[in-house]
């Protein structure tokens, strides 16, 4: 598989087959991803992989955390700016609409939307969940390094026949995640990554999510 194919094929997978992930393959992917670049070669990324009993325990404990309600834990960071302006606001809204439409959940069905949101905290049923974290002292350049590493991992997973979904949603529950996953308290929890074998039949893995035109974001000057 060439890079262009992997980039084109990767998309967020939120429905997985009932099939295990070979941890040796995952280890190989994570080993290869060490080659990702970072400013000063600092390599700020850390990953904690949960599977089996530990993953089941997290999902169970998340049930209690969700019942306690939002705001019970202090989120690691604000996911979007409060005043997200156009065109970003519209892009975000269209993504949400397309996602719920693929699931047959209407705008009025608030309970359906909440249930779907809650699926984040079961890693969408994936057999493996990975958390991305780094020492809290890191700044914006190192956040970018995390993103570069994450995309490297996601593309290598595609090459390995696996699917993934990055999940900022987990950043709202750092206390539960860090306790169960044994992530140091002085680390910032960036996101989760659901990993499994994609279900190619699921409409939820295929809803349209077009990208903005190149001219909207790239400017050639001479
Ligand atoms: C850093 C990051 C965090 C994300 N967090 C979530 C999340 O919490 N839940 C979710 O369902 N999707 C999440 N996504 C997936 C995005 O919605 C998705 O990447 C975007 O809509 C583009 O679709 P695609 O990944 O299928 O190409 C996240 C993506 C990124 C890169």
- Mean pLDDT (10-residue bins), the chain, 222 residues: 97 97 98 98 98 98 88 92 96 94 90 92 98 98 98 98 98 97 98 97 91 97 96
Distance CA 57, CA 67 (A): 16
Pairing mode, strands 187-196 and 46-51: unpaired
Q: What tokens does 71 get?
A: 């705001």
Choose one of 165, 171, 211 to mutate for the ligand 1 pocket test, by most ligand atoms within 8 angstroms of C-beta.
165
Other CB atoms within 10 A of residue 135 CB: 12
* Model pLDDT, residue 203: 87
Instruction: Give the percent of the chain with pLDDT over 70.
Output: 100
Choose one of 7, 9, 12 to mutate for the ligand 1 pocket test, by most ligand atoms within 8 angstroms of C-beta.
12
* Model pLDDT, residue 71: 77
What's the chain's Rg over C-alpha atoms? 18
pTM exceeding the 0.85 threshold for the entire prediction: yes
3-state secondary structure at position 211:
coil
Distance CA 49, CA 55 (A): 9
CA of 165 to the centre of ligand 1 (A): 6
Q: Whose CA is closest to atom 18 on ligand 1?
A: 12
CB 141, CB 42: distance < 8 Å:
no
Ligand 1 site, residue 105, Cβ cutoff 6 A: no
Q: Per residue in 21-32, pLDDT tens?
A: 999 999 999 999
Ligand 1 site, residue 198, Cβ cutoff 6 A: no
Burial class (CB in 10 A: 0-12, 13-18, 19+), 87: exposed
Burial class (CB in 10 A: 0-12, 13-18, 19+), 8: exposed
CA of 203 to the centre of ligand 1 (A): 16
Q: Please name each of the domains of the chain with its CATH number.
A: 3-79+123-206 (3.40.109.10)
Nearest ligand 1 atom to the CA of 170 is 8
Burial class (CB in 10 A: 0-12, 13-18, 19+), 189: buried
Ligand 1 site, residue 129, Cβ cutoff 6 A: no
């Amino acid at each position: 598989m060439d890079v262009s194919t992997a980039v084109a094929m990767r998309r967020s997978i939120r429905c997985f087959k009932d099939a295990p992930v070979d941890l040796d393959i995952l280890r190989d992917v994570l080993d290869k991803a060490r080659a990702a670049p970072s400013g000063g070669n600092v390599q700020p990324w850390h990953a904690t992989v949960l599977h089996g009993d530990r993953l089941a325990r997290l999902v169970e404990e998340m049930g209690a955390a969700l019942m306690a309600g939002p705001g019970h834990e202090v989120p690691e960071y604000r996911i979007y700016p409060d005043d997200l302006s156009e065109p970003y606001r519209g892009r975000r809204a269209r993504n949400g609409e397309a996602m719920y439409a693929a699931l047959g959940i209407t705008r009025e069905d608030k309970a359906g939307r909440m249930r779907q949101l809650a699926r984040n905290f079961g890693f969408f049923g994936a057999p493996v969940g990975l958390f991305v974290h780094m020492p809290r002292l890191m700044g914006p350049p190192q956040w970018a390094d995390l993103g570069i590493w994450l995309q490297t991992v996601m593309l290598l997973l595609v090459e390995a026949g696996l699917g993934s979904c990055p999940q900022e949603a987990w950043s709202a529950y750092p206390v539960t995640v860090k306790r169960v996953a044994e992530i140091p308290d002085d680390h910032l929890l960036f996101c989760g990554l659901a990993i499994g074998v994609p279900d190619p039949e699921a409409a939820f893995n295929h809803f349209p999510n077009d990208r903005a035109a190149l001219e909207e974001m790239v400017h050639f000057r001479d």
